Structure 1
């Protein structure tokens, strides 16, 4: 897969997640760690805005490198929410627990994907995407 395609796919993932924070916020509110100040809805909206901004940055070659690095940090930063979800869902059905537990190791390839996008300059010498 070309670096540009990989960047656009990651941008699409981030944009989809960002939109989901506004379309179905309750599911995100429930995994905001209680130790964070303010309301869970505020954190849900803020993370949705951040995901949309990161998606835009990933889509533009001029900001892709910085946005990819920020995306990797974002994935690491939301890990506590995934831990909370896994803990909170520990008594749910086997399939629900599997989803919650699968999110934990999934952060590693997401972080690596973002780092990979950030280390490949997809701009050619003539300024076009390659």
Structure 2
């Protein structure tokens, strides 16, 4: 296995861990995620929390398998774009919190860009059969 192939595997595995861990947390502690669901979305926040958690776990599963990695990476990139409004809402809602909390909330907004790029990089390395 070449150096580039090894780093591609590492990038894919790390993305699986991030997506899978975040997805599981949506079910283990949904109350953490409910407040950042944009109010403009129809229905209950908890439903959106569970749906986004399921989407993350699903993307993790697709990225984990080389044959579905291409589609999984692309879907993960779309998911990172889709949750961007929630991160903006969190940054706005937490503007009166402590400095460490504000820092975390604000850092999540630009963090979406490298996450999207990471997912697309992993997608390019998938088999796509």
- Compute the TM-score of the two structures, normalised by the length of structure 2: 0.92
Moved over 6 A (4+): none
Could you say what secondary structure the match of 1:90 adopts? helix
- C-alpha distance in 1 between matches for 2:90 and 2:57: 22
Could you say what secondary structure the match of 1:36 adopts? coil
- Compute the TM-score of the two structures, normalised by the length of structure 1: 0.91
What RMSD in Å do the two structures reach over aligned CA positions?
1.2
Contact 1:7–1:58 under 8 Å retained in 2: yes
- C-alpha distance in 2 between matches for 1:16 and 1:52: 8
1:1-130 equivalences in 2 (<5 Å): 2-121=7-126
What is the Cα deviation at residue 4 of structure 1?
1.4
What is the Cα deviation at residue 122 of structure 1?
6.1
Q: How many residues align?
A: 123
- C-alpha distance in 2 between matches for 1:121 and 1:82: 28
- C-alpha distance in 1 between matches for 2:127 and 2:101: 39
Contact 2:80–2:115 under 8 Å retained in 1: yes
Could you say what secondary structure the match of 2:22 adopts? helix
Could you say what secondary structure the match of 2:96 adopts? coil
